[in-house]
Amino acid sequence: MNVLRTRMAILVAGTLLSGAAGAQGAVQWQSLPSAAPAPADNPTTQAKVRLGKMLFFDPRFSSTGTVSCFSCHNVMEGGDDHRPVSIGVEAQRGGRNAPTVFNAAFLSVQFWDGRAATLEDQAKGPPVNPIEMGMKGLTEVIYRIQRIPGYRPYFEQAFGSGDVVTMDNAAKAIAAYERTLITPGSAYDRYVEGDHTALTAQQVRGMSTFAAVGCASCHQGPNLSGPALPTSQGFFMKFPVYPQSPYVAKYDLMKDSGRYEATHNPADRNLWRVPGLRNLAYTAPYMHNGSVKSLPEAVRVMASAQLNRTLTAQQVGDITAFLQSLTGPFPKQTMPRLPPTPGNLLAR
């Protein structure tokens, strides 16, 4: 199935590039919707969003009481942590760069390797990761939440009465909150919607170059993370396509074998979920291992390792300027007030 998806992606790439001849009109440019789609079994409500935001910011669901979702996804800035790899409980370091949580609702699947199909699935991963939040299991996580009496009214407001303080509902609430973390209204969005004064001449030139050199073969759709696909079907591409690129060795880009680490299927080796390109000015360093420190260098790396191209300085500058036009206004965030902690909550 992953091989099929990869072939489909290559076919899409060929369709996009045939007849492009550098013209931005060959790509179906799309603006970001003003609201993220929600699954039928988890419609977004204010009560869920309020509860999910509390859980997102709460470090008490880590084994040491020191790490929360917010620790690696700073929504007061770019939605990530600006480290090459994140730091979890007991100062352990993970193996991959933390993706931004902004616009994650528009990704085909979650995590770099696509091991979670939905935001709800993703929310259950970090708490039980031994490096990230370090809890022994999801039963232990929800037990922590249940032992904080102040959380129950918020669960009841979001999910009704009865046995509602569950891990599934906690994950649904976090996902509902994350679906509010979107950034429509960038200069690029305004340009695509008809305001031809929204981009500078260099950004327009970069938009055309982005399409002409082949970047849009993977980075398409409203989030520039791939085409719309059926639920749970991820958009994956091989990276690097050209391992002989000097940047591959320079930045150790093949040490991590990507989706293979999750599936152990040889066909998945070096496959990665295609990331979105919005708000890149806020999310350095770049690549799955956080090894590339600047956006212009990331453009050069991708051109070489994915497209076997060496770009001119002007092309790099123009594409970088275009990518900067994808930065949109962030939703206003305020710190939530959390329920008080029982004295023995973290006893082990």
Is residue 77 annotated as a catalytic residue, yes or no? no
Residue 168 token pair? 């599934």
Check: CB of residue 258 under 8 Å from CB of residue 269: yes
Check: CB of residue 57 under 8 Å from CB of residue 70: yes
CA atoms of 257 and 270, how far apart (whole Å): 5
Residue 91 token pair? 């100062």
Integer angstrom CA distances of residue 333 from 26, 74, 176: 38, 10, 15
CA atoms of 257 and 265, how far apart (whole Å): 11
Say if residue 333 is exposed, middle or buried (CB neighbours under 10 Å; 0-12, 13-18, 19+). middle
Question: Which ranges constitute the DSSP H helices of 25-166?
Answer: 46-57, 69-72, 119-123, 138-146, 152-159
In 3-state terms, what secondary structure has residue 106? helix
Catalytic residue among 120, 132, 178, 297: 132
Say if residue 199 is exposed, middle or buried (CB neighbours under 10 Å; 0-12, 13-18, 19+). buried
Residue with tokens 């760069």: 97
CA atoms of 87 and 20, how far apart (whole Å): 43
In 3-state terms, what secondary structure has residue 116? strand
Check: CB of residue 313 under 8 Å from CB of residue 251: no
Residues annotated as catalytic are: 132
